[in-house]
Amino acid sequence: MENLEKLLSYVNKEDLPIIQKAYDYSSCAHSYQTRASGEPYLSHLVSVAVNLAELKIDAVSIAAALLHDILEDTLVTEQELTKEFGEEIVSLVKGVTKLNKYKFNDNITAQAQNWRNMLLAVVKDIRVIIIKLADRLHNMRTLKYLSAEKQKNIAGESLTLYAPFAHRLGIYKWKSELEDLAFEILQPAEYHQIKTQWEKRAESNTQNLTDVENLLKEKLLPSSIPFRITARPKNLYGIYKKMERQNKPFSEIQDLFGLRVITDTVENCYAILSVINSGFNLLEGSFTDYINVPKSNMYQSLHLTIISDKNVIVETQIRTEEMHQRAEYGVAAHWRYKRRVEGDGQNAKEDAKNAMAENKLDWLKQFLEYQKETTDSGEFLDTLKTECNFEQIFVFTPKKKVIKLPLGATALDFAYAVHSEIGDTFMGAKINDKMATINAKLKTGDTCEILVRKNIKPSVHWLEYAITAQARSRIRKYLREHSEQQTQKSASKK
């Protein structure tokens, strides 16, 4: 099997025995099953494992991927599987099996409860959702063998929740492919129109990109800074959303490709930035420093847009090799070197990194905690999409502390992000020294000062102005608690 050879080529020698054992065991258990395409079911399991191996994730996760449907679709019991593979692998298999049971249909209440249950399972071990995403990616690649209705249902779910989840975990490669695969099914006319136009411009764009790359190398080489440059095309769905957002036709979208300049240290990232600043014109307002202020999914890079001497516009990212690994593989990168050998300083260092990565996933636990305050299924799903499918903005307090918020956040969201008590006593805001309303939308670079008054308290109308889970949860909690107090007072008077 070609994919098996590909899988084994990604795996370290010491991990080969457990991967081979999982493959053999799964091959036997699923031997009588085929997919809708007519291929042996095993081909799907190996493809899912390859997706994970490409992320360079740990061998335990890859073995679990080969076994992820075994409890659901075969006669193998949990006890038998535990005896063969141990508790860690079985725990991951059980987690994915649970996720497979959550069916997402048009019933909003059922959808919300299923996602709530799913996220609770994910909180226990984030690798569960990474395996599920690898599974969904392969299913999307082979969707053509299903009925048109099933294709649309699965594509819709992938676009609105699975792709955003991949984004939230920093696995941009999967996010982009899931988006494009879903886009082709859900909006075929728009997909093929953009694809055709993109292909027509591909040759000239490639030449323009090569010219900018050569010019960049020419300016960087005298500095003796170590670097390498890679190019990346924008995904088609990303182009479509940009056309929509900016209300522009395809012909006016210039940055269809981007450049990545990869170096060895953070200091050299800024040194390269200095060379580019002095050697190129930059698009006004295009610079963002995600190294000093990383995104919530641990992404770091310097972003800027170059304008060449031939007026070619190229989005450029500057990052270290470590940042690049994290940008490519997201949170999965933190399991790549996970080894627990006592007394090994390097391994202790890696474990510390893993602990830091897992701590940064607390957003999911916080989100579930905030959502205890709402029983509204539609709101739960909308807020989940806001938390996952985010473009972040970076807003400053008057003391220059940076507050990260999702795109579309208001002054009220900012107040609650600073502190819940500041949010509860919100009277108004000054944005860049100008008075602003409670629902004023913020943008990156704004400085926001919150004005408070002790006798002001949250009202139900505030829910119309807040979009973040944190703010909405706090407002609901206040309203519920004070409603209960009022009821108790009324009862005592009687």
Among candidate residues 191, 135, 142, the one with its CA nearest the CA of residue 162 = 135
Give residues with Cβ within 8 angstroms of 467, minimum separation 6: 383, 386, 406, 408, 409, 410, 413
Give residues with Cβ within 8 angstroms of 251, minimum separation 6: 197
Contact in structure between 449 and 430 (CB atoms under 8 Å): yes
Q: Which is the catalytic residue, given 15, 54, 72, 84?
A: 72
Among candidate residues 408, 416, 421, 420, the one with its CA nearest the CA of residue 467 = 408
Residue 203 a catalytic site member: no
Contact in structure between 259 and 230 (CB atoms under 8 Å): yes
Contact in structure between 84 and 353 (CB atoms under 8 Å): no
Instruction: Read off φ and ψ for residue 254, nearest 5 degrees.
Output: -95, -35
What is the DSSP code (8-state) at residue 161? I
Residues 329, 322: Cα–Cα separation, whole Å? 11
Q: Which is the catalytic residue, given 15, 54, 73, 211?
A: 73
Tell me how far CA of residue 459 lies from CA of 89, 426, 464, 489, in angstroms: 48, 11, 10, 19
Q: How far is CA 262 from the centre of its chain?
A: 21
Residue 72 a catalytic site member: yes
Among candidate residues 406, 408, 476, the one with its CA nearest the CA of residue 440 = 408
Residues 63, 67: Cα–Cα separation, whole Å? 6
Could you count the other beta carbons within 10 Å of the beta carbon of residue 463?
A: 17
Residues 48, 41: Cα–Cα separation, whole Å? 11
Among candidate residues 389, 435, 388, the one with its CA nearest the CA of residue 411 = 435
The H-assigned helical ranges of 280-401 are 321-329, 345-359, 362-370, 377-388
Instruction: Return the structure tokens found at 413.
Output: 């969201």
Which active-site residues does the annotation give?
72-73
